[in-house]
Amino acid sequence: MSHKYVYLFAESNGKMRELLGGKGTNLAEMSNISLPVPQGFTISTEVCTKYYEDGRQINADIQAEIMDTLWDYSKSGPKKDKYQSLVKVAGCDVVKNEKTGEILFFACKPVE
């Protein structure tokens, strides 16, 4: 894959507004100045254009990059408080609140 479509907040900034849109760049900027924004990523505006060009389908390269980002994030995402834990459920990584049982985030590696 030679073209990048997914950008972590940590690698984004306000100068990327055209590529990431207003919400994506604003979240990145807030994250970069240490405001309490959950870690995350933005899918570029190019994906929307490509989606329509491809007949309202997300192509395999873009899907793979999104899933790889989710998978990597599930492995390295921060523990937000002492009640959170990363557990395996049916081959997926699940971050859940041990106190309430609420699922906060999950990612599954696609079968290849």
CA distance 61 to 90: 25
CATH code assigned at 21: 3.30.1490.20
Same domain, 37 and 13: yes
Cβ neighbour number for residue 64 with a 10 Å cutoff: 14
pLDDT at 82 over 70: no
19, 71: one domain:
yes
Tokens describing residue 103: 């699922």
pLDDT in tens, 26-67: 988 988 898 887 777 888 999 888 888 999 888 888 888 887
Write out the residue range of the structural domain in which residue 66 sits: 1-76
Of 63 and 111, the structure prediction assigns the larger pLDDT to 63
pLDDT of residue 108: 59
Q: In the prediction, which pLDDT does 106 show?
A: 60
Facing residues of 86 across strands?
95
* C-alpha distances in Å from residue 9, one per residue of 52, 67, 100, 112: 25, 16, 28, 28
The pTM of the full predicted model, rounded to 2 decimals, is 0.64
Q: Is 84 helix (H, G, I), strand (E, B) or coil?
A: strand
pLDDT of residue 96: 64
In the chain, how many domains are there?
A: 2
Query: What are 7-29's pLDDT values in tens digits?
Result: 888 888 889 999 989 988 898 89
The residues, ordered by sequence, that sit 6+ positions from 7 with a Cβ below 8 Å of its Cβ are 16, 19, 20, 24, 28, 41, 42, 44
- Domain identity same for 55 and 4: yes
